[in-house]
Amino acid sequence: DTGVSQNPRHKITKRGQNVTFRCDPISEHNRLYWYRQTLGQGPEFLTYFQNEAQLEKSRLLSDRFSAERPKGSFSTLEIQRTEQGDSAMYLCASSHGHGGNEQFFGPGTRLTVL
Amino acid sequence: AQKITQTQPGMFVQEKEAVTLDCTYDTSDPSYGLFWYKQPSSGEMIFLIYQGSYDQQNATEGRYSLNFQKARKSANLVISASQLGDSAMYFCAMREDTNAGKSTFGDGTTLTVKP
């Protein structure tokens, strides 16, 4: 399977705990994106990487959120001191580059904060 | 700031008929791309069709076509010969070429195809 993969698919945690999600993009894609999607809404942009460089972060990404892509391949998104408002689907996507190249999405990680 | 508006929360269509899903956008960037994605109940986002702001012709991909009206800033998706498997959430999205990392999505339209 050469699509975008995300792990875990589901995560249930207690408020105040830290969580980390992983995204493995399509291997030849140099751009990687993180989005958050809540029920009934479209995905909201969080951040993106070109190779290992994090080029943009949304203001939605508070200081409790951090993302890395250390070798320009897989990426991790960590949420520290989770809050109930962090409950959402976290989507990862990758693409060759910008312009007309569509983003290919992974299946998402659904986070539930109790 | 870029913004996408999808005014139809839900749409119904009879199987084998055509349906149009509306999308309007706002941007000050002269160069941008418009995308449509399908999200079935399984949750995965599936790319359908792309239109560049400088493309002279409307994009088509099989049963999907994009009715691009640049002056009106609209990019409506037309699905011809609807199938039961087309029932899903549909999202319109835009990416400005000067801000090439970020895509902005609308809130989606839920399409239900009736047999």
Q: What is the pLDDT of residues B4-28, one digit of tens each?
A: 999 999 999 999 999 999 999 999 8
Select from A40, A55, A100 the Cβ nearest to the Cβ of B101. Answer: A55
Interface test with B, best of A102, A109, A111 (most B CBs within 10 A): A102
CB B40 within 8 A of CB B26: no
Q: Which residues contact A45 (CB under 8 A, 6 or more apart)?
A: A33, A35, A58, A60, B102, B103, B104
Interface test with A, best of B3, B102, B104 (most A CBs within 10 A): B102
Q: Sorting pLDDT into bands at 50, 70 and 90, what band is A98?
A: low
Q: Sorting pLDDT into bands at 50, 70 and 90, what band is A97?
A: low
Question: Could you give the C-alpha distances from A30 to A16, A35, A60, B4, B66, in angstroms and in order?
Answer: 33, 17, 23, 26, 28
Q: Sorting pLDDT into bands at 50, 70 and 90, what band is B99?
A: low
Residue B37 has pLDDT above 90, yes or no: yes
**Which three-class secondary structure state does DSSP give residue A38?**
coil
Phi-psi region of B16 (alpha: psi -120 to 50; beta: other; left: phi over 0): left
Q: Which residues contact B26 (CB under 8 A, 6 or more apart)?
A: B1, B2, B3, B4, B5, B73
* Contact at CB, A100 and B4, closer than 8 angstroms: no
Closest approach of B96 to chain A, Cα-based (Å): 8
**Structure-model confidence comparison of residues A55 and A112, the more confident one:** A112
What token pair was written down for A73?
Answer: 């391949």
Q: Which residues contact A12 (CB under 8 A, 6 or more apart)?
A: A111, A112, A114
Residue range B38-91, pLDDT digits in tens: 999 988 899 999 999 999 899 999 999 999 999 999 999 999 999 999 999 999
The span from the CA of B48 to the CA of B65, in Å, is: 9
What's the CA angle centered on A55, arms A62 and A48, to 5 degrees?
A: 70
